[in-house]
Amino acid sequence: MRVVVTGATGTIGRELISALLARGEDVVALSRDAARARRTLGDEVEASAWPDPMGEPPPADALAGADAVVHLLGEPIAQRWNGESKEAIRESRVRSTRALVEGLVALAPDRRPRTLLSQSAVGFYGPHRDERLDETAPAGSDFLAEVVVAWEGEALAAAASGVRVVVTRTGVVLSPSGGALAKMLPFFRLGIGGPVAGGRQYVPWVHLDDVVGAMLFCLGRPDATGPVNLTAPTPVTNAELSRVLGRVLKRPAFLPVPGLAVKSLYGEMAEIVITGQRAVPAVLERLGYGFRHPDLEAALRDVLDRPG
């Protein structure tokens, strides 16, 4: 199988490509800087330049004849939001996906990849309390939900040209490097971590191994289409996550973090930290995906045993 990957040098992209190569697949990395991608990913990966992802489609020869495209490109959400950063978050997702789909549609049908797996986020659902949210739940109305709706809409447009489209609504990824856990660890290791804003909000966590595993699973399942929640089967509250992380690190984890402190640090973005979603992977479970790390404590221990 030949797979094209955008956002290839990010945390998920690197792990996905490593897994694809281990399976003997051919991988093409689309990157603004092909030379940098080649240095980062190694000689086994074919790197192709996509210098303007928000302005023009990828080069046709990079897409033509591939079996699948995995689209992971996007400005990080976990940053302080202002007018400029919010515009970058939205445009990097919506416009790059539009350009990618334009490139796919322009190919002759016999040269067009059969599958597009486009990254998405549980932010689709907006802030929620404790109700379980499967893939049939409606979209929210906050900034991030509106971004995700537009982002997914651009990807799903490829279905009109016969492409099977999967949009993976990914939760909070537990990884030894980067992401939410990396921001939490320094405080917890010092014994000054604890639940945020009361801790009652749900955290739809997922181990990085299962992000990659579920993506590979969806690539290989013709009946995987549309939205797929990419979260562990057992979402937990922020308070429970804090307790388990403290136990794993053998540190106290009871100092509460006021919501106002989070807002002062992240501004408007704090809303996705102090609210949350109890998203569940109904589609993956129905299709029979077997989670490698369904238990939070075991998942955290595995992540923290790995080099960062």
SS3 at position 27: strand
* pLDDT for res 153: 98
Residue 223 lies in a domain: yes
pLDDT, one tens digit per residue, over 5-44 is 999 999 999 999 999 999 999 999 999 999 999 999 999 9
> How far apart (Å, rounded) are the C-alpha atoms in residues 18 and 3?
12
> How far apart (Å, rounded) are the C-alpha atoms in residues 245 and 192?
12
Residue 178 lies in a domain: no
> How far apart (Å, rounded) are the C-alpha atoms in residues 120 and 271?
18
* pLDDT for res 287: 98
Residue 274 lies in a domain: no
Q: What is the CATH number of the domain that holds 131?
A: 3.40.50.720
* pLDDT for res 253: 81
How many helices and strands in the chain, by DSSP H and E?
A: 12, 13
User: What angle do the packed helices 208-219 and 11-22 form, to 10 degrees?
Assistant: 60
> How far apart (Å, rounded) are the C-alpha atoms in residues 80 and 112?
39
> How far apart (Å, rounded) are the C-alpha atoms in residues 66 and 113?
5
Contact 235, 280 (CB under 8 A): yes
Q: How, if at all, do strands 202-203 and 236-237 pair?
A: antiparallel
Contact 202, 236 (CB under 8 A): yes
Residue 119 lies in a domain: yes
H/E stretch holding 68: strand 68-71
pLDDT, one tens digit per residue, over 94-104 is 999 999 999 99
* pLDDT for res 170: 97
Residue 195 lies in a domain: no
Residue matched to tokens 């992209």: 13
Give the domain extent around 70: 2-171+208-231
> How far apart (Å, rounded) are the C-alpha atoms in residues 213 and 153?
24
Q: For residue 133, which phi and psi values (nearest 5 degrees)?
A: -120, 105
> How far apart (Å, rounded) are the C-alpha atoms in residues 305 and 162?
43
Residues of the chain with pLDDT under 70: 265, 308
Q: pTM score, two decimals?
A: 0.95
Q: How many domains does the chain have?
A: 1
Residue 303 lies in a domain: no
